[in-house]
Chain A
Amino acid sequence: EAGVTQFPSHSVIEKGQTVTLRCDPISGHDNLYWYRRVMGKEIKFLLHFVKESKQDESGMPNNRFLAERTGGTYSTLKVQPAELEDSGVYFCASSHFMLGYNEQFFGPGTRLTVL
């Protein structure tokens, strides 16, 4: 079974540009999450989809970030326009929805550098 995949693995852009990150969850996982780790700090939650619906977007930093999950399969996270403080590693995770269970499986991450 393929794991969570993310594209690209690295992205270097200039301040003010736009970047779109993609995540393909494990097949059959209804839950999809985005997290971010900045400068060796803790991994912080951004948002959570259940199928194509945003269940919780309380961690989204501001309206420069837009996440979509059309059709309930893959998800994209767009940053427009990018700022220096957006640099970090963006992780996607997915999981089954099952009571008594909250193990989330992470992708390798996209390292975003904003210059």
Chain B
Amino acid sequence: DQQVKQNSPSLSVQEGRISILNCDYTNSMFDYFLWYKKYPAEGPTFLISISSIKDKNEDGRFTVFLNKSAKHLSLHIVPSQPGDSAVYFCAASDNQAGTALIFGKGTTLSVSS
């Protein structure tokens, strides 16, 4: 039973446009959410996180939005660049200090020039 779901296995976007990656969760105990990017043959790289006390966190081209009532979060990348092409994983944990991360299956983003 998946607690973190990324329902879109893939997404294709043109360079310069916005990429929106979505993630849904079922466990209401989750209160910390993270996005990771993964290139082939490498480990996941931390991108951005958000605590449940916020509904938005921004870092450069990356913004994460959290809708707690819908148990939904999204990652916006603006503008998208070809180097952003990778697998993006959504992850959640039930507190903010050192517990296990629960991952979704990932969304493969392809940004074409």
Measuring CB to CB, which residues of chain A are less than 8 angstroms from any residue of chain B? 4, 31, 33, 35, 40-45, 48, 50, 55-56, 58-59, 91, 93, 95, 97-109
Contacts and interface: CB of A to CB of B under 8 A. Distances in A.
B42 A108 contact: yes
A38 B3 CA distance: 17
Interface string B31-60: 010101000011111100101000000000
A56 B100 CA distance: 8
Please list the 5 inter-chain residue pairs (A to B) with the smallest Cβ-Cβ separation, ordered nearest first: A106-B43, A45-B100, A43-B103, A42-B105, A42-B103
A35 B44 CA distance: 11
Interface of B: 2, 4, 32, 34, 36, 41-46, 49, 51, 89, 91, 93, 95-106
Contact of B99 (A56, A93, A100): A56
B91 to A, nearest CB: 8
A44 B3 CA distance: 12
A105 B34 CA distance: 12
A100 B97 CA distance: 6
B96 A100 contact: yes
Given A42-B104, A44-B103, A105 B46 contact: yes
